[in-house]
Amino acid sequence: LNPKSQPRPENTDLASAAVLAFSENERELRYFGVELLCKRPKAVDLEFAQKMVLWDPWWDTVDGMASNLVGPLVMADRINGQEQMREWLDHDNLWVRRASILHQLRYQAKTDKEFLFEACTKMAPETDFFARKAVGWVLRHYSRTNAKAVRQYLDSMGDSLSPLSRREGGKYC
């Protein structure tokens, strides 16, 4: 069989396959589910993506979904997507908040820096390692595009950011 001669699966099939993969205990199947969704982000919406984040809340699945699934979904509809990301920042679950802050990782020059700095400021008081690491990671990533803005932000925040967030965020600026 030549895979290219086969019809592409319907979006509902991809979403169902991802749910089936997440239903299994093996991490590798969950990674497969993440990869499936990330190959065709428009197969789902942000509500579905949030359910998947909550289904398996750990860095090894959430981080990939944040930048490769949630990010493209938000980019496709910036106004509504950013509004939902602000709602996610207020979510009770750390991993939903983490997905919100990390969704712009691949945006580079298209990063909404106001949202980025707002999200980092909102997450700055968090004491959880994964929250602090996310703040530093997203700042470090954006500093490759706009080191001056990140440096100004880090300086303006002072000790409000954890040492981990400051160290990670300031790595390239």
DSSP H/E element including 25: none
**Token pair of 45, please?**
């919406």
Residue 67 is predicted with a pLDDT of: 97
pTM check: above 0.95: no
Residue 12 is predicted with a pLDDT of: 78
Pairwise CA distance, residues 10 & 16, whole Å = 10
Total count of residues recorded for the chain:
173
Mean pLDDT for each consecutive 10-residue tract of the chain (173 residues)? 71 89 95 95 96 95 97 97 98 98 97 98 98 98 98 98 98 94
Residue 4 is predicted with a pLDDT of: 75
